[in-house]
A and B are shown apart, each in its own frame.
Chain A
């Protein structure tokens, strides 16, 4: 199905840089949630966008080898792992006592990485997939998925503890929406840009725009539970506009020519 093929080419962007942005940005955003009722959720949402950019870069590195099942499938799988790991981590953090609530988000990310690693090992050892970066790529991808879910959940609930997230993200059903929306935000950039002339800088510009439009929607979802909802929605929408313009400009710059095809003819010729 996927015709990405080839794989392993030099990327225009250092993988360590996107990983750094994703991990550090995501964790700072999530842990900064309690500092201020408006600024905290905003930082959490921005952290989730950082994680989405990292995830889009990780998916591009794995899927450029050609998975045989299309790019979206690994995106759905990683978000499924991310949601299971996040919920289990947040709940598990409570088990250790209230003093350790701080550990809960980190535990969610670690559990997701473990589950992602196990699945990738199964795919490699039992099923026999021949992708050299499958294990590390899937682990990065599941970590990014967990961070994006955590960041957006914290932005909606205004806290990263299990009880508020359960009340305003899970019980309301927003978790299902986050599941599919973050999948789209992470897998769409590479799915749309793949091919022999794929330029990672351009792909990541699209990733920023999908991340920011998700952030704008997350802002609207937080209307009932967070004071910061309008700040998140407006900043997300503005940043989406800017990043989409950057992506369109990059596409135009790389294109041989851009021409308007005109409207279809009035009468069909037979």
Chain B
């Protein structure tokens, strides 16, 4: 693929609501939400695995629903509530999902973890006590190469049992 030089990059002021904080940013309109979160807002907890919408690594929540930030443009989500992994803990107190992932070894290299945590958070908000199959179905779009997924399902069950 040829990379055209962006001779006249169109820029736009975009107001983003991320983790309850509103920020106004002047952005090239073609920059993805993933790039803006990581590069313009220094929210590097959101990771990238493919930047093509294939691996689920860059999952964030938009109005509570999991979305792939590599396929979103900031202008699409202006004024909507965006949650990244940095917004999960309550101050220094871990979210029950984060606590369970830590306790049960559900993060190994930890790279897919932020996206999976957010997808799981969305699941538990709509289904407080999902079965193991429902957990697998909800997370089928998130790849992990370390864990074999078992401890992730265990951790989500544990968090659910604690009323996450």
Chain A complexes with chain B: no
